[in-house]
């Protein structure tokens, strides 16, 4: 009897998984061949080309706005896939856009509006530049920040040679071990900065720059789009520009008034540049509350993406469409992963 029930349940699950329509929203950040990528944000151009080839062969690529309408009319297409990019790096224009055009596959790029044309790298990139590139650092770091004093010792890892850099360039934040005190420091500063608000984070980065003896200097490989480049990215209509706040905060940790500013200013800034409505939004770090969603609606956005990991199923809330993060997989691995999600 038990076996029979199990079989029925497994059969129902199988049919549910295989035949219930769902759309997969892919979350990319960068298309670039970086020699070191501690946040796993990039996919190489070669791999991105392989991903597009597979999407072209096996799926129905669609626009985010069409997915939002399909949710509302409860008519999700089979094998639907939407491509999105977060943050607004320059390679989205230089590398990704020409490839998307070759396959005629649409995408939405969520741009951090306050970062347009900035001379600074994003704070997570700046941490890598200061701590995990070859060079010398002082032995001890003291920081006094809101929750008290912090002190770290580099324990002899003050010097980081080209050989060290090459040895550890496969390291990333998702690994459980930190091979040197520098990696440990990177991880604890990453966690501290992550929970800070913009002003304090800026101040802390400046202290770190002084401590490391490095100028405020942006690497070309880590630069973000400027205003003209966002316009170019939108040209041709294949790429939709969406908003991703002004300063990329964890919205859920901000008071309502600051959330409102981040949300509405980013919309106004991008609409001013593009001279057209900006309808879509993505929550930085996937951070939002019910109040955030109310603010997004009030600001006039029509739909929004979260970073919750799932496919979009029937009845989904168009203001928190889940997404799945794509890593730097080759075509075969990407195809296996994709088919698992789509049940094909």
Residues found near Zn ion in the complex (CB under 5 A)? 86-87, 284
286 vs 318 by CB, closer to Zn ion:
286
**DSSP per residue, 241-307:** EEE--SS---GGGS-HHHHHHHHHHHHHHHHHHHTS---EEE-GGG---HHHHHHHHHHT--EEEEE
Least Å distance, CB 307 to Zn ion, is 8
CA angle 193, 196, 200 (to 5 degrees): 95
d(CA 222, CA 6): 52
87 vs 316 by CB, closer to Zn ion:
87
86 vs 316 by CB, closer to Zn ion:
86
SS3 330: coil
SS3 140: strand
Least Å distance, CB 248 to Zn ion, is 6
Least Å distance, CB 8 to Zn ion, is 43
CA nearest to 96, candidates 26, 41, 31, 52: 31
249 vs 284 by CB, closer to Zn ion:
284
d(CA 235, CA 237): 6
d(CA 262, CA 288): 13
39 vs 158 by CB, closer to Zn ion:
39
Least Å distance, CB 257 to Zn ion, is 22
59 vs 247 by CB, closer to Zn ion:
247
Least Å distance, CB 88 to Zn ion, is 9
Q: Which helix or strand (DSSP H or E) is residue 159 part of?
A: strand 159-160
Least Å distance, CB 244 to Zn ion, is 6
At residue 219, what are phi and psi to the nearest 5 degrees?
Answer: -75, 140
């Amino acid at each position: 009897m038990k076996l029979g029930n199990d079989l029925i349940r497994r059969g129902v699950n199988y049919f549910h998984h295989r035949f219930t329509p769902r759309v997969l929203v892919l979350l990319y950040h960068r298309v670039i061949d970086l020699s070191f990528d501690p946040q796993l944000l990039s996919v190489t151009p070669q791999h991105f080309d392989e991903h597009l080839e597979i999407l072209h062969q096996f799926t129905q690529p669609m626009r985010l706005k069409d997915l939002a309408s399909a949710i509302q009319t409860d008519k999700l297409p089979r094998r639907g896939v939407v491509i999105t990019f977060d943050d607004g790096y320059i390679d989205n224009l230089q590398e990704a856009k020409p490839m998307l055009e070759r396959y005629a596959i649409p995408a939405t790029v969520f741009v951090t509006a306050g970062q347009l044309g900035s001379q600074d790298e994003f704070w997570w990139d700046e941490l890598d530049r200061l701590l995990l590139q070859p060079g010398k650092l002082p032995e001890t770091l003291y920081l006094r920040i809101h929750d008290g004093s912090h002190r770290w010792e580099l324990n002899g890892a003050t010097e980081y040679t080209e050989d060290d850099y090459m040895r550890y360039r496969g390291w990333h934040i998702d690994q459980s071990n930190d091979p040197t005190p520098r990696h440990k420091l990177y991880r604890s500063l990453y966690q501290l900065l992550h929970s800070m608000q913009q002003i304090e984070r800026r101040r802390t980065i400046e202290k770190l720059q002084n401590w490391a003896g490095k100028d405020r200097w942006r690497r070309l490989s880590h630069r973000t789009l400027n205003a003209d480049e966002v316009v170019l990215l939108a040209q041709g209509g294949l790429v939709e520009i969406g908003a991703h706040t002004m300063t990329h905060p964890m919205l859920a940790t901000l008071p309502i008034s600051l959330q409102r500013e981040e949300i509405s200013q980013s919309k106004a800034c991008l609409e001013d540049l593009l001279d057209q409505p900006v309808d879509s939004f993505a929550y930085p770090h996937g951070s939002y509350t019910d109040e955030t969603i109310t603010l997004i609606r009030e600001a006039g956005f029509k739909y929004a993406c979260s970073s919750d990991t799932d496919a979009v199923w029937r009845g989904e809330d168009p203001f928190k469409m889940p997404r799945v993060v794509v890593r730097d997989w080759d075509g075969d691995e990407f195809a296996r992963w994709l088919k698992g999600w789509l049940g094909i």
